[in-house]
Amino acid sequence: MRKAQITRKTAETDISVEIDLDGTGAYDMATGVGFFDHMLDQLARHSLIDMTVRCTGDTHIDDHHSVEDVGIALGQALTRALGDKRGIRRYGACLLPMDDALVRAALDLSGRPYLVWNVDFPTATIGTFDTELVREFFQALSTHGGITLHVDALHGLNSHHIAEAAFKAVARALREAVEGDTRKADAIPSTKGAL
């Protein structure tokens, strides 16, 4: 069963995350940050990974710790659920349009965290949400999920659209990468024999 449950408690946040890689994209988010919930809904829906996320964080300061720490916990859950990565496709990519926004995501479930982030937002906030936290989330996800992740916004005028297109593009790429490779169902997809 490619499932994982992570609980993570610090002085700043108290988080529980549950995922099922072989789900249907069912989601149940309550992070205390409305816009972030909306983005995580997209991540689950378009990756077809079932996700339940609960976070109680120090949002009286700002949303930073909650967003970053959910990224850490989701990354840890991905690592645990993937196990030895036998039979997966490993790579995924998506070029995703959303109205004015066009975002490209390419990723490798390599075990080697690396984030290349070329996404500029025309505004510093979306509602009360700091746009710079989108990068913080993906940095944490990449680091703790062992993901080589490239995200490039090729076009975009509206910050909400750009952020949402980024989450959807990564979700679609993730769907592809975690799915089973029917031609190599029992093999670890690396000439090294390990990922």
Applying CB under 5 A, the residues found at the interface with Mn ion are 164
CB-nearer residue toward Mn ion: 149 or 162: 162
CB-nearer residue toward Mn ion: 10 or 123: 123
170: nearest Cα among 131, 192, 138, 128: 138
- Tokens 């916990």 label which residue? 73
What is the C-alpha end-to-end distance of the chain, expressed in Å?
A: 19
CB-nearer residue toward Mn ion: 2 or 168: 168
Report in angstroms how near the CB of residue 42 gets to Mn ion at its nearest.
Answer: 8
How many C-beta atoms lie closer than 10 Å to residue 99's C-beta?
A: 13
Token couple for 120: 């500029």
Q: Is 183 within 8 Å of 81 (Cβ atoms)?
A: no
Token couple for 73: 């916990």
Give the CA distances from residue 9 to residues 67, 73, 134, in Å, rounded to whole numbers and listed in that order: 14, 10, 22
Report in angstroms how near the CB of residue 26 gets to Mn ion at its nearest.
Answer: 19
Taking CB positions, which residue lies at the least distance from Mn ion? Answer: 164
CB-nearer residue toward Mn ion: 99 or 120: 99
Report in angstroms how near the CB of residue 53 gets to Mn ion at its nearest.
Answer: 18
Three-class SS state of 34: helix
Report in angstroms how near the CB of residue 164 gets to Mn ion at its nearest.
Answer: 5
CB-nearer residue toward Mn ion: 53 or 72: 53
Report in angstroms how near the CB of residue 38 gets to Mn ion at its nearest.
Answer: 6
